[in-house]
Structure 1
Amino acid sequence: MVEQEAGLRAVDLATVFPGRLGRPAAVAVDRVNLDVHTGEIVALVGESGSGKTTLARTLLGLERPTRGRVRFDGRPLAYSMRALRAYRRRVQLVLQDPTGSLNPRHTVYEAVAEGLRIHYGTRPDEQELVADALAYAGLRPPERMFLRYPHELSGGQRQRVVIAGALVLEPEIIVADEPVASLDASVRGEILALLLRLRDELALSALVVTHDLGLAWNIADRVAVMYLGRIVEIGEVDTVLTAARHPYTQALLSVLPESPATTPTVLSGEPPDPARIPAGCRFHPRCPILESGRAERAGVAERCRTEDPPVLDGAGGHQVACHWAHAVS
């Protein structure tokens, strides 16, 4: 893929939540570098608790980073109310649950027009803009949808209305948090095809947050795999998902139906706790490579237990934060 300008960039980003009742602070995002280029779809993948939703919220300005910065269009994100308001016209959020995102008392027209009214007040071309957004989202003819309510729509139609509500502001980037997780399998493909069409026709960039590597395979240009607040592998989707180098990525891939693995890899140990990040490689307590003795044979077992791998720079190329992967490559 040709290197493009990064429209949205996380630079050494960290988001830490203070502990309560004597608990240590939770490091939800830990020194992350990530670029989303113009006209590119990046999938951010990981288990629940890996920090991917907090990273998305920090990129949107909904959480203020403890360290590092968010850059958009070549400039650091400012956190004044006015600056965030302008930023959110250009970077829009699409939530996982369309039912929860839509006010049941608002018609489709009101739901889509809400963003316009918040940012621009009354506009003489409001009806035209709402119709265009609904049409782009695949709800045609759009005028037929204007007076319908969310309970009258299917799950796929509701998700398209949510997407139209983002598109009406003509954003440059959308951040989609599990955009098809609550939809039937028959509808998932339609929504993914819609996101691809929006990228191709509108040059719309997207950061798609998901736990599903299969979804990433179908939609993304690049994939970033996140574990316990840190991106541990990143690269072009075909490269990462056909030649994964990090044991965590390999374990996630092993459970996909199309995986060549004969048996799924079951991770041992406790699920990640951002308040208790282990010393050394943060994945080492659950790492099947370390457990099987392969890290020992490669001469890196002690480094796995005591030395934190370098932070990935988040730019181009296939990168991995793993002592064993570098030792055997």
Structure 2
Amino acid sequence: MLEATDVVVEFGRARAVDGVNLSVAPGEIVALVGESGCGKTTLARTLLGLEKPRSGNVSYEGRPLSYSGRALRAFRRQVQLVLQDPTGSLNPRHTVYEAVAEGPRIHKLPDEEAVVTSALARAGLRPPERFFLRYPHELSGGQRQRVVIAGALALDPKILIADEPVASLDASIRGEILALLLRLRDDLGLGALVVTHDLGLAWNIADRVAVMYLGRIVESGRTEDVLTNPQHPYTQALLSVLPESPERIILTGEPPDPTQIPSGCRFHPRCQLVAAGNGIDACHSTPLPVLPATTDPQVACHVVQALQAASS
């Protein structure tokens, strides 16, 4: 339904997204995972039409996204954003009703009160009328996030793009919001791209995982495949910080700099395989191809590919 094809996004000398193929199908939740600064939020903004790629394209329902005002307006009814900080997302001077009604008013939807009532109910704020005249400061963190989600649902979208949707919430509330997203997927057939640095969140909610490093997808596949049998050294390092991991992997080198992309594999300066002497010459010298948009397991790593070739 929503797809990025060979997308490149640059800010000056920084190549924030450097050739990405990624798709979200109807009723599918895809987790986009990586460290801060890897380009995942820029990719999410590009999928929303908020950034225009230097090359490549974003398509919705098979048609390339048009950046004209009218076309973007229609597109944004179908693809809605849920931000990580509900307090910053909501105007403190607006009531809950006004916050949720903003989108329907912009798009001139009929039966505004019925739309707002339905959206609040679907977001788990019941009875909806009890919340109409409340202000954000009168709500809990979880309730504020539900208001933000209701604001997106009011436009009856087909895709949600959720940027760290539970990062600012207490642990006790996170499960409720994740359960809500799953229920919306099951009841409404919503697709979702969930941007996160938390692989535990991805395990609980996602059908597929795409792991991003320095502007590229380096591993993707079904959540169970990627998180129970990670192939890329970077994915292995991310998973090693989870409490149940038997071994902590400490990455060497500096965090990624999108203005200075290394030769060869872009991860090799920090790779634990290279640091242990288990890399190969190609790690330093040969760029890896861009991974395609597919549901099959795939990994961009010279060592893994060499092992696969040797065993086949």
User: What is the TM-score of this pair, normalised by structure 1?
Assistant: 0.93
User: Retained in 2: the 8 A contact 1:41–1:208?
Assistant: yes
User: Retained in 2: the 8 A contact 1:234–1:314?
Assistant: no
> What is the one-letter code of the residue matched to 2:3?
R
Residue by residue, what CA displacement relative to the aligned partner does 1:195-243 show, whole Å, maximum 9, x if unpaired? 0000000000000000001100000000000000000000000000001
Give the counterpart of 1:319 among 298, 305, 311.
298
User: Retained in 2: the 8 A contact 1:8–1:36?
Assistant: yes
Confirm whether residue 13 of structure 1 aligns to residue 38 of structure 2: no
Residue by residue, what CA displacement relative to the aligned partner does 1:23-50 show, whole Å, maximum 9, x if unpaired? xx00000110001011000000000010
Confirm whether residue 144 of structure 1 aligns to residue 138 of structure 2: no
1:167-316 alignment runs, 5 A limit: 167-259=153-245, 261=246, 263-295=247-279, 301-316=280-295
1:2-41 alignment runs, 5 A limit: 7-18=1-12, 25-41=13-29
> What is the one-letter code of the residue matched to 1:41?
I
Query: Aligned equivalents of 1:273 and 1:194: distance in 2?
Result: 36
CA deviation after TM superposition for structure 1 residue 102, in Å? 0.2
Query: Aligned equivalents of 2:80 and 2:156: distance in 1?
Result: 9
Query: Aligned equivalents of 1:283 and 1:101: distance in 2?
Result: 34
SS at match of 1:165: helix
User: Retained in 2: the 8 A contact 1:27–1:274?
Assistant: yes
SS at match of 1:294: coil
Match of 1:164 in 2: 150
Residue by residue, what CA displacement relative to the aligned partner does 1:280-306 show, whole Å, maximum 9, x if unpaired? 0000000001111122xxxxx210001
For structure 1, which runs of at least 5 residues remain unmatched after alignment? 1-6, 19-24, 296-300
CA deviation after TM superposition for structure 1 residue 258, in Å? 2.3
Match of 2:45 in 1: 57
Query: Aligned equivalents of 1:267 and 1:34: distance in 2?
Result: 26
Query: Aligned equivalents of 1:305 and 1:313: distance in 2?
Result: 23
CA deviation after TM superposition for structure 1 residue 314, in Å? 1.9
CA deviation after TM superposition for structure 1 residue 309, in Å? 1.2
Query: Aligned equivalents of 1:314 and 1:290: distance in 2?
Result: 28
Query: Aligned equivalents of 1:270 and 1:324: distance in 2?
Result: 21
CA deviation after TM superposition for structure 1 residue 190, in Å? 0.2
Residue by residue, what CA displacement relative to the aligned partner does 1:123-172 show, whole Å, maximum 9, x if unpaired? 3x111110110010000000100000000000000000000000000000
Structure 1 vs Structure 2: percent identity of aligned residues?
71
Superposed CA RMSD in Å reads 0.7
1:45-84 alignment runs, 5 A limit: 45-84=33-72
Query: Aligned equivalents of 1:107 and 1:164: distance in 2?
Result: 13
User: Retained in 2: the 8 A contact 1:95–1:178?
Assistant: yes
> What is the one-letter code of the residue matched to 1:30?
D
Match of 1:126 in 2: 112
Confirm whether residue 328 of structure 1 aligns to residue 312 of structure 2: no
For structure 2, which runs of at least 5 residues remain unmatched after alignment? none
Query: Aligned equivalents of 1:188 and 1:264: distance in 2?
Result: 25
> What is the one-letter code of the residue matched to 1:67?
S
Query: Aligned equivalents of 2:9 and 2:108: distance in 1?
Result: 32
CA deviation after TM superposition for structure 1 residue 328, in Å? 1.9
Aligned residues: 308
User: Retained in 2: the 8 A contact 1:107–1:146?
Assistant: yes
Query: Aligned equivalents of 1:200 and 1:57: distance in 2?
Result: 25
Query: Aligned equivalents of 2:264 and 2:293: distance in 1?
Result: 21
